[in-house]
C-alpha cells in the first residue's frame, strides 16, 4: 500500500478513536483537530469523507461530530463474532455430551439473535434456529433466558415495543411471556415446552457479566421424548457448568445503555486469542 494511503488510514483511525471516546454530544471540528493534532482543513476533509459513508455524522444544531450508525453496526457484528468464538467450545462440548443441538444467542435491542449452533449425534435433529435468525425477546428458550435476566421495568418496556412482532408467534402474548419469565426465574433456567415447534423442547441459561447483566444465552434443544424431567435436570446442570466457566473467562464487555445490545470492547479480541 502506498505511503500516502497508509497515512490516510492512520489519520482516519485516529479520528474514529477520538469520536469513540465521546458521548452522544460529540465534538466540534476545532476540538477534534486539537485532539488529533491535524490541521483544520485536513480534519474537515476526513470528517466529510467519514460522514459520506456513515462512519461519522454531524449534528446540525451544534455542528458537532460523533460516530455514525454504521460504526455501531460494525461494532455489534464484531462483538457477536467474538462472543460466538468464545462460545464455540461450549457449544461443541454440549452437543457431544448430550447428542442434542446446542445454540448461543445474544440480545440486540428488542431481539435475540442466534450466533452459534452445534449439532449432536442423535439422529433426530432439532434445528429450530439457524445462525443469524432473530426472534423477539422472550420467544424461545435462549431468548427467554435473556429476557428473564433483565429488570422488570425493562422487560415491560420490551414487551410493549414488541407487541406487533409478537403477533407473529401464536401464544406469545405479553401476559404469557411474563408468566414464562416468572417460571424461568423460579426454576433457574428457561424451558420451551413445544411452544414454537410441537414436540420440540429446549432449555437455556443466561451467561452474565460481572454486574449480573445477561451477555448471551446457551441452550439445548431436543425432541420431547428426550426432555423427560430427569434428563432435563441433567441438561440444565451441563448448561450451568458451561455458563459458569464462560463467566469466569469472559473479558470486560459492555452493554449499550439505550438498546441493551453488546458493544465492542477494543481489547476484547486480544483477550480472546
In a domain, 98, yes or no: yes
Q: Do 91 and 115 fall within a single domain?
A: yes
Of 67, 90, 121, at which residue does a domain stop?
67
In a domain, 153, yes or no: yes
Total domains in the fold of the chain: 2
- Cβ–Cβ contacts within 10 Å for residue 11, how many? 17
Distances (CA, A) of 161 to 21, 76, 164, 167: 30, 21, 8, 12
Q: Do 226 and 98 fall within a single domain?
A: yes
In a domain, 130, yes or no: yes
Q: Do 55 and 116 fall within a single domain?
A: no
Q: Do 40 and 105 fall within a single domain?
A: no
Decide: residue 58, CB within 10 A, 0-12 exposed, 13-18 middle, 19+ buried: middle
Of 37, 67, 97, at which residue does a domain stop?
67
In a domain, 268, yes or no: no
Q: Do 40 and 159 fall within a single domain?
A: no
Question: In terms of pTM, does the model score above 0.85?
Answer: no
Of 16, 43, 67, at which residue does a domain stop?
67
Domain that holds residue 119: 72-263
Q: Do 22 and 102 fall within a single domain?
A: no
Q: Three cell numbers at 51?
A: 460522514
Q: Residue 214's domain is classified under what CATH number?
A: 3.30.450.40
Q: What is the mean pLDDT of each run of 10 residues along the chain (273 residues)?
A: 73 88 81 92 92 86 84 64 78 97 92 93 92 95 97 96 96 97 98 94 94 92 96 98 90 48 40 31
Q: Do 166 and 190 fall within a single domain?
A: yes
In a domain, 271, yes or no: no
| Cα angle value 265/6/29 (rounded, 5°) | 65
In a domain, 273, yes or no: no
In a domain, 242, yes or no: yes
Q: Do 55 and 84 fall within a single domain?
A: no
| Cα angle value 8/10/14 (rounded, 5°) | 115
Q: Do 95 and 45 fall within a single domain?
A: no
* CA–CA gap between residue 231 and residue 236 (Å, rounded): 9
* CA–CA gap between residue 180 and residue 190 (Å, rounded): 8
Amino acid at each position: 500500500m502506498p505511503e500516502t494511503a497508509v497515512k490516510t488510514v492512520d489519520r482516519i483511525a485516529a479520528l474514529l478513536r477520538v469520536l469513540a471516546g465521546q458521548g452522544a454530544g460529540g465534538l466540534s471540528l476545532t476540538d477534534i483537530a486539537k485532539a488529533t493534532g491535524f490541521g483544520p482543513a485536513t480534519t474537515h476533509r476526513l470528517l466529510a469523507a467519514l460522514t459520506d459513508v456513515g462512519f461519522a455524522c454531524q449534528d446540525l444544531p451544534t455542528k458537532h461530530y460523533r460516530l455514525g450508525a454504521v460504526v455501531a453496526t460494525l461494532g455489534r457484528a464484531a462483538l457477536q463474532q467474538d462472543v460466538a468464538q468464545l462460545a464455540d467450545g461450549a457449544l461443541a462440548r454440549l452437543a457431544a455430551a448430550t447428542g442434542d443441538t446446542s445454540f448461543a444467542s445474544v440480545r440486540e435491542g428488542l431481539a435475540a439473535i442466534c450466533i452459534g449452533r452445534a449439532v449432536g449425534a442423535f439422529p433426530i435433529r432439532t434445528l429450530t434456529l439457524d445462525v443469524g435468525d432473530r426472534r423477539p425477546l422472550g420467544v424461545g428458550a435462549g431468548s427467554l433466558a435473556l429476557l428473564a435476566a433483565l429488570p422488570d421495568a425493562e422487560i415491560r418496556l420490551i414487551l410493549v415495543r414488541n407487541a406487533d412482532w409478537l403477533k407473529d408467534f401464536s401464544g406469545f402474548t405479553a401476559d404469557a411471556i411474563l408468566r414464562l419469565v416468572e417460571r424461568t426465574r423460579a426454576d433457574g433456567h428457561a424451558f420451551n415446552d413445544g411452544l414454537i415447534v410441537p414436540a420440540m423442547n429446549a432449555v437455556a441459561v443466561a451467561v452474565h457479566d460481572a454486574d449480573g447483566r445477561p451477555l448471551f444465552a446457551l441452550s439445548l434443544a431436543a425432541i420431547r421424548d428426550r426432555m423427560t424431567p430427569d434428563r432435563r435436570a441433567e441438561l440444565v446442570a451441563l448448561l450451568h457448568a458451561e455458563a459458569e466457566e464462560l463467566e469466569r473467562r469472559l473479558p470486560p464487555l459492555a452493554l449499550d445503555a439505550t438498546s441493551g445490545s453488546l458493544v465492542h470492547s477494543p481489547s476484547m479480541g486480544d483477550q480472546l486469542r
